[in-house]
Amino acid sequence: MKRKDIKIVSISAYIGFILFSFITGFDPGKQIGENFVTFSVDMLKILPCAFVLIGLFEVWVKKETVEKHFGKEAGIRGYMWAVLLAGTTVGGLYVAFPVAYSLYNKGAKLSVIFTYIGASAICRVPMTIFEASFMGIKFSSIRLLVSLPLVIISSILLGDYLEKRNYKIMEGK
């Protein structure tokens, strides 16, 4: 069976399961279908705007600017910029990965990109405010003070490891 055939069979089975669930009243299947629709609508609200902004970033921000602030010469400032940029990223990792790829293409250091991706997952401003309102400012502060150094240290280690082996991100097809 070819890869394309496997995808078609998988998608058909998923749609069939959802339809079967709605017809027979199977609640877990109905909930899966409703969650899928809700998630898809949420993504359709966020992703087009995010991709337009990423496209504008590609066109408007010069490679020299990214190299200066996120590249090999940036030093510790590159990691601080990565955390600040990650804190303002809306849309979670769905937006962070294309931004990271764009940064990579413009000359950002690999370890700084890893810091950006890790920080996008743990320290977005809206998420942190939401967390602080439920868990308290003390909890959120401790979590950030522990998590961010660990993200930066692991990013540096992973970035150095991959750069020593001349790792390059593959170009899209």
Q: In the chain, what are the domain boundaries?
A: 1-52, 61-173
Does the pLDDT of residue 173 top 60, yes or no? no
In tens, the pLDDT along 66-111 reads 999 999 888 899 999 999 999 988 777 888 998 999 999 999 999 9
CA distances from 24 to 11, 16, 21, 173 (A): 20, 12, 5, 42
Can you list the alpha helix ranges (DSSP code H) found in the chain? 3-24, 27-60, 63-70, 76-87, 93-105, 110-122, 125-135, 137-164
pLDDT for the residue 1: 73
> Six-digit token pair at 104?
């990579």
Report if pTM > 0.85. no
